[in-house]
Amino acid sequence: MKFRPLDKRVVLERVEEETKTTSGIIIPDNAKEKPLVGVVKAISKKIEKDCGFKVGDSVVFDKYKGSEVKIDGKEYIILDVEDLLGVLG
């Protein structure tokens, strides 16, 4: 990916949820909500050094925030750093 976010933004790739429950029931696509967890793919230079996370970290983000874009055939979400709620792990 050759994309560098501007200002105080990050680029995430959504982490897909399981399509089956632990008991083996398959969840149809129309019943699933979009996941609120993503993997950081790029960080703007403006916040890179003191943001508390790095490329490759899994983060939780706010439900109704961000812009979805397609880059090189893959879907990403671009968020303001303030819309990130925390780092997993």
Look up residue 69 and give its DSSP letter.
E
Q: Would you give the end-to-end CA distance of the chain in angstroms?
A: 24
pLDDT of 28: 61
Q: What single-letter amino acid sits at 7? A: D
Look up residue 20 and give its DSSP letter.
B
Which CATH code is given to the segment(s) 9-19+26-87?
2.30.33.40
Per-residue pLDDT tens digits for 31-83:
555 668 999 999 999 998 888 999 999 999 988 889 999 999 999 999 999 99
pLDDT of 15: 86
Quick one: pLDDT band at residue 87, thresholds 50, 70, 90? very high
Domain boundaries, the chain: 9-19+26-87
Per-residue pLDDT tens digits for 1-42:
678 999 999 999 998 765 666 677 765 655 555 668 999 999
Instruction: Name the E strands within the chain.
Output: 9-14, 37-43, 58-61, 67-71, 74-80, 84-87
pLDDT of 61: 93
Are 57 and 40 in contact, with CB atoms under 8 Å apart? yes
